[in-house]
Each structure stands twice: as structure tokens, then as C-alpha cells.
Amino acid sequence: MTIDKQNSNFNFDYDYDTNNNNNNNNSKSKFIIEERRRIVAKLWAQSKSETEIARELHCNVSTICRDIKFLKKLSQQFVFDLAKDLGFYYKGCIDTMDQIQQKCWNMYNSDNVSQKDKLLALKIIKETCESKFSLIEKGPSVMALNSLQERVEKIESSSNNEYR
């Protein structure tokens, strides 16, 4: 279900009340907040101010400010989680380029492929070599990021153990 903010006078000025024990109301309020935050993210990406967004959604500026703060934290967590998996994605990209090169070499060496297609295959091989070299060149910085990530996790876990 999507709420059409332009054709509705729906009140988005609603924050989740943790004291409310009614599960049905909790899920409705969570839905309203999530829907509002999706719209806030879209409008914020369009460079609208908090005041403009609040006016469009018929809610308080303070609500929009809290939503933007929440969305920023969510984005930071996304980037942080992505950094954890950077080595895996990095290796996947290099493996994919190897597969592309292999397919292109097979095309180039085939007797059933036209000269034009063979030249295109060579062009792709050249481009993947350049891209692969660029990735490999950046490898040490990727490894440094992973090393820093591991250090941060060790520090966080040791500090969490101290407080127990």
C-alpha cells in the first residue's frame, strides 16, 4: 500500500509511541513512519529544505529533522556494513573481469566469429585489462580499509566487554 502524498491530506506528523502496547497500532504507526521517511528521503534528495518537506507532508519541522537524522544514521550504517564486505565485492569484480576476458578470448579464437566481432572482443579484453589493473592498483587501500575495520571491531568488542 502506498500513500499518495500529493492527492491526500494524510497526516504524517506521527512518531512511534513506545508506550503503546497495541500491536495493531504499533504496526500501523511503524508503517506510517516508514512511509513518511521514504518520502522524506526522496524530497531531501531533491534538495528540498526541512521546512518545505514539512509543509508538503503536513507535519512539524521537528518531525522531519528527526527523520533526516534517522536517515543519515541509516546511511552511515549502510556504508559501514558495505565497507566490511568491500574485500568480497572487490574480489568478485576481479573474478568477473577474468570471466569476461576468457569469453572474449574464446570468441576471438573461434572460427565462427566475424572479423568485426573479433575486433570487438579484443577491445573488450583491452578495457577489462585496464579496469582490472586499476582495481589491483587500488588493492592496498582496500586491504588497509579491511585492516582498519578489523581493528575497530576489536576495540569495540573489548570496550563492550569492559562495561559488562
Residue 3's pLDDT is 46
Rounded distance, CA 143 to CA 147, Å?
6
| Rounded average pLDDT over 44-49 | 94
Question: How confident is the model over 55-78, as pLDDT tens digits?
Answer: 999 999 999 999 999 999 998 888
128 pLDDT higher than 80:
yes
Rounded distance, CA 10 to CA 3, Å?
8
Integer angstrom CA distances of residue 25 from 15, 33, 111, 162: 12, 12, 68, 39
Q: Is the Cβ–Cβ distance between 145 and 159 less than 8 Å?
A: no
Residue 86 banded pLDDT, cuts 50, 70, 90: confident
Residue 79's pLDDT is 78
**Among 13-17, 95-99, 106-110, which is the least confidently predicted range?**
13-17
- Give 50 or 11, the one with higher predicted confidence: 50
Phi and psi torsions of 134, nearest 5°: -60, -45
DSSP 21-88: --HHHHHHHHHHHHHHHHHHHHHHHTT--HHHHHHHHTS-HHHHHHHHHHHHHHHHHHHHHHHHTHHH
92 pLDDT higher than 70:
yes
pTM of the predicted protein model: 0.48
Task: Dig out the grid coordinates for 42 from the structure.
Answer: 526522496
CB atoms within 10 A of CB 161: 8
